[in-house]
Amino acid sequence: MTLSALTTKADARQVISFCEGWEFKKGPIPTEPVKAVATWGDKWKTVEIPHTWNATDMQTKYNDFYAGPCYYRKTYHCPANLRGKRVFLRFEGVGACADVYINHQLVGTHKGGYSAFAIEIGSALKIGSDNEIVVKADNQSRPDVIPVNHSLFGVYGGIYRPVWLIVTEQSNICVTDCASPGVYITQKNVSKRSADVAVKVKLDNGALQPTQVTLVNTLYTQEGKQVATHSQPITLTPQGTQAYTAHFRLSRPHLWQGREDPYLYKVVSRLVQDGQTIDEVTQPLGLRHYEMVAGKGFYLNGVKYPMYGVCRHQDWWQIGSALKNEHHDFDLAQIMEVGATTIRLAHYQQSEYLYSRCDSLGLIIWAEIPFVNQVTGQEAENAKNQLRELIRQNFNHPSIYVWGLHNEVYRPHEYTAQLTAELHDLAKTEDPDRYTVSVNGYGHMEHPVNQNADIQAMNRYFGWYEKKIKDIDEWIEGLESQYPHQRFVLSEYGADANIGHQTELLGESLKWWEQYYPETFQTKVHEYHWSVIAKHPYILASYLWNSFDFATPMAQRGGVVARNMKGLMTFDRKTRKDAFYWYKANWSKDPVVYLTQRRNVERERKHTSVTVYSNMGTPKVYLNGTLLTDIRQGYTAVHYVLDNVTLADGKNVLRAVATKDGKEYTDEITWMYSGEKDRGTETYENKGVHAGF
């Protein structure tokens, strides 16, 4: 019988939700907050964590939102049974800089709105009494904290992710190692035959004397069966944290195979003293091996794996960043339904819950820090710290394959290149086994900020911010021929779409700086660009921008204030744009038959085109009950177009039908035609080109 089977649980680690009972007051406050809270009056508002104060102004106003200090307070009665324990507060995310006070005493600070931080507070608490906890949160842009502005996205202020009270014995698995789990699992030589696993645990002794403990690491299958265990007696000194590693070799392991089979073992690390478990941490273990082969593709456990990618910003309409798990679950459900296999979580560290769900769903993740848009020369230390926090806090998630170092950061080029190289070195020191990536927005491999990471990624918006839609062909073919040995990823592409803007009259480019963003143009961009991506294995992974519309409080474009509308779904998550179904038809195994331009109801041309997406073979398309002929295949195997369809005056009903395994699937839309129209077509090229193809 193993040692772990003989032990019993004492008062092991307690992890208690600390999200209720908070009050909020908007700043700035002219008096010193630590000593003058009682003089601030009674205008505190009761709030529930997660909370942000920018859910309205940052989403509805152009460059007119409150960014600055706000305050949260809570009264905590510390029970007498915590005497002799170690007590910590762990914040999963505070936007963007935080100062934490207990009983007028500063106990900790944190710079960065997206990573967790943990503070030991036991010595500041009055045991058996009420304690006043005050958190100052400040989301004003600072030159020394990334992101250094609100330009690409808004940094919401507030305690917008959960807060936890953690209680341990004097000896514990380290809580304050960058707020990580204190457990780091590495895997080597992973194959169907065997896998080598190492479990490093950082231990901390808060007592003044050496302590005799035993560290027990046990591996379990997903079904709960013990696979292997390792115990190690330790004399834990009271000076500094200490790391201990257990090694395992698994025979014929069950591999984590992405969406096909996201199998998870679990690792339980226990600290045992006098036969009792005094601390315990559980972490996921997905056994897998990632490899990106230049010019060929992405390989998961030696098998070429499709990288159907989307990007995701976390904010929701009227909620901001203060999301609950149900919001993350909804977003992941949409991403799963569209058929994506990989997500770029842009442009910052996202919820711990989200990473865990990606582990269990089999989604492959690009995780990055918010080093974006602009440099000041003062952000280097903070960028490194945020990268260190990102890696340590998420080290054990099997879904993560790459750490993102920067996104479209340029002048001065030399400074950016040097800092990116330093970030790469830091990432490789913290985690030698994962890739790093940096992102260029110009599309030039020889750009001076490039070549400082394992993977070179580029953002390109042909037809939108530059050139014409089909210029993507020449660009990617040029990279293939000139730089065949580069690991290359297309990290963003797409176009904005206001679903209230509709037209048939589209050319090969659109003037993005104007206020007309037709959904039909977004559809056209994605139809062509995905068809090109699918033909070029040189693009090892691609990530469309974006899954969902999101807030950009420094922008005012496309007829909507403070909104980036490049999402496959609208900001309120109520409407899926046509492009959503384009990717679902191309990527998903679920049956899809879908008629495009359902919101482009008032038709401009009597002789028009009809587009259908079907992954069940050639569909039958009916107009007002009459079967249409001369259907042709478009850019991919799911793309079908009917040219020169003649509409009747008034109401027109289109119906598409496809069959799979004897079951019939249909889609139906209605168009109206009341004479030729010309909706400002002077702003478009090639007026007569239809959106369908």
Q: Are 313 and 303 in contact (CB under 8 A)?
A: no
Beta strand 342-345 with 308-312 is parallel
Longest dimension (CA), the chain: 90
Per the CB < 8 A criterion, the answer to whether 396 and 283 are in contact is: yes
Give CA–CA dist 2/353, Å, rounded: 32
Question: Do 630 and 638 touch, CB atoms closer than 8 A?
Answer: no
Of 120, 408, 492, 508, which is the active-site residue?
408
Cα distances (Å, whole numbers) of residue 337 to 333, 361, 525, 581: 6, 12, 21, 10
DSSP 615-627: SSSSPEEEETTEE
Q: CB–CB of 384/420 below 8 Å?
A: no
Rounded-to-integer distance, Cα 624 and Cα 638, Å: 24
Name which of 81, 90, 80, 86 is nearest 19 in CA terms: 90
The two tokens of residue 326 are 């149900």
- SS3 at position 653: strand
State whether residue 611 is helix, strand or coil. strand
Q: Are 201 and 182 in contact (CB under 8 A)?
A: yes
Q: How far apart are CA 287 and CA 449, in angstroms?
A: 34
What are the strands of the beta sheet with 290-293, ordered from one edge? 290-293, 297-300, 303-304
Are 216 and 231 in contact, with CB atoms under 8 Å apart? yes
Could you give the CA distance from residue 505 to residue 679 in angstroms, rounded to a whole number? 8
Enter the tokens of residue 146: 């990334």
Tell the residue number behind the tokens 């582990």, with chain if given. 359
Burial class (CB in 10 A: 0-12, 13-18, 19+), 241: middle
Please report, in angstroms and rounded to a whole number, the separation of the first and last CA atoms in the chain.
68
What are the two backbone dihedrals, phi and then psi, of residue 295, each rounded to the nearest 5 degrees?
Answer: 80, -5
* Those residues with Cβ within 8 angstroms of residue 42's Cβ, 6 or more apart along the chain or in another chain: none
Separation of alpha carbons 11 and 1, rounded Å: 23
What is the spatial distance between Cα 471 and Cα 550, in angstroms, rounded to a whole number?
Answer: 27
Active site residue 408: yes
Active-site positions? 408
